[in-house]
Structure 1
């Protein structure tokens, strides 16, 4: 299971680079795996991706050994369950504000005794064709990933309690939403906040989460941003597919049409 590899690599302290699939496309997921990304965030929060569409994207990740985490639209048990049953290796839960929010996500991702996820002959279990449900349940509990986004002022206040949840695997900082939540909307860049006060805040919060034993991550859309966060100990970096397409296409067009 790709998630097991992802979880082991996080625990080993490796730096992992992933892609936000903000364009609902199995082909983009597959290309990300071929290019060499470590994981894909399949965005079901800010896109029109359907349940079927997410499953096809998860399947594409599987074909290339790419770990897939679905950024779900709601912290709702049935929504998480259906994405997990499709074979996703875990979830990225947005807008988490409290330890209770984290526990709700854990309960939906994990089977008893760690959670309350229902067991069935689903794709994630290989339809129980070659592996018994009991063995699958144990493997899933050991390997699936629960990652949360810290992107509100309330979450900042509750970060210690959030990080105290044992089954939480990693913390990802949503700098753009965090900046907006704290009143920095006018200073936001298209690819996230580069306001020095937000950078300092995220660094401070990241150190706090790392001290609590949680790997931390953030979006990095340039080498300079990557180097900043990596030197601070951030392990999880992600870039947005559409932003990379725009940057690459615009750069090529500029080279081919000087002065345009």
Structure 2
């Protein structure tokens, strides 16, 4: 079983740096994964891919040496199960409004006694049946992680309870949807928004979890000073878009 690069950093008290893949191209995902990032964030909330393509994207992360972090809003436990059995190390849970949603996903991800996950030991996560079952059960529980997004105003009262929930590793603020829901789209420096951001960082510190946020590289230090330790700093879309614009603007004939 490939150990989690993200959890290795978290357990060592180090900062996690990730990149987002917006396109369903395994080669592109492998390039990102092999560029020194701890995880590649693959979104199945705003994008859809068939099962074989999603599997290929997870494979590309494994080949590149980074964790596959899959954002998905499960309708039932099978929406999570096939992803982690394919080798995705992390699940990102979006649009959470109540702590009970989080507990259901923890139950789907973790084998007993930590959850209620069912056993099937022949997939990529289990090294295709080559890991003894008892070892696999222990390693899977130890190497899979859950990232809970804090992006709905309704979830704010439950931040501390979510941070205290066993099986939750990261609380990931979604600034766009959070400010949108507050009627303050894009105003991440608004006092009300800053209070929420600080409350997430403080709850994580109290309960031994990690606060995360997507931001530009030059914003990392400011959020780090607030207590955030997990940053998504770039996407393939941003690289392509800014690179294309910059190259075209540089050609003046």
Question: Aligned pair 1:74/2:74, yes or no?
Answer: yes
SS in 2 for 1:158: helix
Tell me how large the CA RMSD over aligned residues is.
1.8
What's the offset of the Cα at 1:3? 4.3
Q: Is the 8 A contact 2:5 2:38 kept in 1?
A: no
The whole-number CA distance in structure 2 between the counterparts of 1:73 and 1:84 is 14
Question: Aligned pair 1:86/2:86, yes or no?
Answer: yes
1:25 match: 25
1:194 to 1:244, Cα distance in 2 relative to 1, 3 A: farther
Q: Is the 8 A contact 1:163 1:209 kept in 2?
A: yes
Q: Is the 8 A contact 1:43 1:49 kept in 2?
A: no
Mapping of residues 1-260 of structure 1, within 5 Å: 1-74=1-74, 76-120=76-120, 121-128=122-129, 130-185=130-185, 188=186, 193-197=187-191, 198-223=193-218, 225-238=219-232, 239-257=234-252
The whole-number CA distance in structure 1 between the counterparts of 2:197 and 2:53 is 33
1:257 to 1:10, Cα distance in 2 relative to 1, 3 A: farther
TM-score, normalised on structure 1?
A: 0.89
Unaligned runs of 5+ in 1: none
The whole-number CA distance in structure 1 between the counterparts of 2:2 and 2:17 is 14
What's the offset of the Cα at 1:256? 2.3
What's the offset of the Cα at 1:242? 1.0
TM-score, normalised on structure 2?
A: 0.91
The whole-number CA distance in structure 1 between the counterparts of 2:222 and 2:104 is 33
SS in 2 for 1:243: helix
Unaligned runs of 5+ in 2: none
What CA deviation, in whole Å up to 9, does each residue of 1:60-87 have, x standing for no partner? 1111211111111325311001111111
The whole-number CA distance in structure 1 between the counterparts of 2:242 and 2:149 is 25
Q: Is the 8 A contact 2:43 2:71 kept in 1?
A: yes
Which region of structure 1 is more displaced relative to structure 2, 151-160 or 201-210? 201-210
The whole-number CA distance in structure 1 between the counterparts of 2:67 and 2:220 is 20
The whole-number CA distance in structure 2 between the counterparts of 1:144 and 1:257 is 50
The whole-number CA distance in structure 2 between the counterparts of 1:134 and 1:212 is 29
The count of residues paired between Structure 1 and Structure 2 equals 250
1:233 to 1:48, Cα distance in 2 relative to 1, 3 A: same
